[in-house]
Amino acid sequence: MKALKIIDNVMFQYLLPMLLGVLFLGVLYFYSDVTYSNLQLPVGIYKHNIWHESDYLTYYRPAVNFLEYGVFGEEYMPDPLRTVGYPAFLSALIFLFRENWIYWAYFIQCLFIPLIYPSIYFIIKRVVNLKAARMVLMWSLLSGLYFGRLISIGTDLVFLTLFLIALVSLIKYFETKGKAIFILLYILFLFLASEVRPTLIWFFAIHIPVVIYLDNRYRVFATVRRRRFFLLYSSIIIFLVTNIPSWRNYVHYGFFKPTTVLNANYVNHLSRYILDKEGQSGRFDSIYKMQYEEKNYIKRMHLQNKIAVSIIQELPVGFIKVIIMNIKNVMLDNGITNQIGQYFNYNWREYPGLAQSDCLFYSYFVFAGIYVIIYCFTFYGLYILIRRKKWNILIIVCMLLATMLFPTFIFGSGGARLRMPVEWVLVTIASYGYLSLRSKNLKEDPLGRA
C-alpha cells in the first residue's frame, strides 16, 4: 500500500513533524499577542509569557552567567542544581544571535527534535518488527506528546532526542558487525544526553542487558569471553561519561551527585503537596525558607530529606493522596490539551478562567481514556513477556521504568513531559501485547527468538 510506504519513508517521518513545528512557530509568532520583551525572561513580564516553562530561568541564568563570568552558575560559583548541557546550548545562541537568540532556539529545536520520530521507528523495527514500528510511530505522531513541546525552552525533548540517537548508534554497531564509529557515537550521544539531563547516571547497568539482547540477536562477538570483555570496559566508560556532572559536583562541593534537584523536590514539590492536601499549606513558607538558610549543599540535602521524611510520617494519608495524584498527572496527561492549548490560553487546569475551548476540555478526557487502553495492552504485553520467559527484555524495561519514570511519581506536577523518556517504551510493549493478542494461540512471537 502506498500509505504504508509513505509511513516507512525516513524523510516523511522527519519532515512532517519538522514542517508542522515550523508552521506552528510561525502561527504563534504572527498571531499571538506576546511581545518579544515578554519572551526575554527575566526582562519581560513573566505572567504575560504564554511560551514559558517553569524551569526556564534555572537554565537561562547559568547560560547568561557563563557569558559574563565563564562559569555555569552564579558569578564564579558553579551551579550544582543544573547540568551544563542545555545552558551551554542557550549561551551559544545568546552569544551568536544576541537579542534574537530565542527565535533561533525555537527554530533549531524544530529542526533537531523531529529526529525523535525516525529514531523510534528504527529502534522498534529492529528490536520488535515492522508492524510494531508503524504502530508506535503513528501513535507518537498522533498523541501530540512530543510535538506539543516542540517550541518549549526546556531539556525534555532535547534529552530524549540525544538518548534515542545513542540507542540507534548502538543498534547500528551490532548491525554492522562491530564498526567502531557507531560505538563511539553511542558513547558520545550518551554523554551529551547526560549533560542535558542527569537521568542516565545508572544507565551503565541498563547497558549490560541491552548489549546481551542485541548480541543474542545479531551475534557480533565470536566468544563469550569477548562479549564479557566488551561489557566490562564499555560499562566502565559509560559510567564515567554519564557521571561527569557528578564528578563536577564532587570536585566543587564534595558530593557525588549530578544535581541537587531531587532533594529540593522532596520539599518544594512532595512536601508542599502533602501539606496542601491536608489543609496545612501555611506551614510551607517557613519550611521553604529554612532549607535555603543552610548554605552548605551537603547539609542542605540532608535537611531536605529529613523534612520530607518527617512530613510523610506525620501525614501518611496525605502522602498516599499525593502519590496517586502524581501518577495520574504523569500517566494520563498528554501533549495537546496541556501544551498546545496553553499557548492559546486554553489551559483549563492551570487557568480555569481562561478556558475558552470545550474541545480541548473534552479532548483531555478522550486522551486519558485512550492512554488507559494503551496501558491495558502494556500490562498484557508484560504478561506475555513473562509467559514467554523473555527475562532479558523484562529486565531492560523494568530498569528503564525504574530509573526514568518511577521517580517522577514523587513530584509529578510536570505531567506528560515527565513520561517522555519512556513513552515510546510503554507504547512499544503495548504494541507487542496487541500483536501477540492477534496471533493464534500466542504461538507467533513478534520478537522471534531474541
pLDDT digits (tens, 9 = 90+) for 136-158: 999 998 887 887 777 777 888 99
Pure H helices in 267-315: 272-277, 284-293, 297-314
Segment 240-255 mean pLDDT: 93
- Residue at grid coordinates 548489549: 211
CB-CB contact of 98 with 142 (8 Å): no
Does the pLDDT at position 244 exceed 90? Answer: yes
Contacts for 47 with CB less than 8 Å, ≥ 6 apart: none
Least confident of 287-301, 310-324, 357-371, 434-448: 434-448
Which residues face 74 on adjacent strands?
A: 77
Helices (H) and strands (E) in the chain, counts: 22, 2
Q: For residue range 375-405, what is the model confidence (pLDDT) as tens digits?
A: 999 999 999 999 999 999 999 999 999 999 9
**Confidence class of residue 54 from pLDDT cuts 50, 70 and 90?**
low
- The answer to whether the Cα torsion of 271, 272, 275, 280 is positive or negative is positive
356 contact partners, CB below 8 Å, separation of at least 6: 345, 346
Q: Are 349 and 355 in contact (CB under 8 A)?
A: no
Find the helix or strand (DSSP H, E) in which 428 lies.
helix 420-438
